[in-house]
Amino acid sequence: MKILVCIKQVGNEGEINRFDVHALEEALGLKDQLSARLSKSVTVDVATVGPPEASKIIKRAFGMGADRGYHIVTEDPEYVSSFVTATRLAVVAKKIPYNLILTGIMSTDMMAGQTGPMLATILGLPCATAVIKTSLPTSDNLIEIERELENGFRDCLEIQLPAVLTIQAGINTPRYPCLSKMLAVSQKKIASLTEADLFPEPIEAREIYIGLEQPEKTRSGRELKGSLSDKAEQLFGLLKEKDLI
47 is in the binding site of which of other proteins, ligand FAD, none (Cβ under 5 to 8 A by kind)? none
245 is in the binding site of which of ligand FAD, other proteins, none (Cβ under 5 to 8 A by kind)? other proteins
Task: For residues 40 and 98, give the distance between their C-alpha atoms in angstroms, rounded to a whole number.
Answer: 15
In DSSP terms, 144 is beta-bridged to 158
The residues, ordered by sequence, that sit 6+ positions from 242 with a Cβ below 8 Å of its Cβ are: none
CA angle 211, 212, 218 (to 5 degrees): 140
For residue 161, the SS3 value is coil
Footprint (CB under 6 A) of ligand FAD, residues 97-116: 105-106
Torsion 151-156-160-165 (CA) sign: positive
Footprint (CB under 8 A) of other proteins, residues 169-188: 169-170, 173
Out of 156, 178, 184, 196, name the contact with other proteins by CB under 8 A. 156
For residue 97, cis peptide bond before it (omega within 30 degrees of 0):
no
DSSP state, residue 39: -
Kindly state whether residue 143 participates in binding ligand FAD, applying the rule CB under 6 A. no
233 is in the binding site of which of other proteins, ligand FAD, none (Cβ under 5 to 8 A by kind)? other proteins
Footprint (CB under 8 A) of other proteins, residues 64-103: 79, 82-83
Kindly state whether residue 147 participates in binding other proteins, applying the rule CB under 8 A. yes
Stretch that binds other proteins, among 34-42, 61-69, 95-103, 215-223 (CB under 8 A): 215-223
Return residues touching ligand FAD (CB under 6 A). 105-106, 130
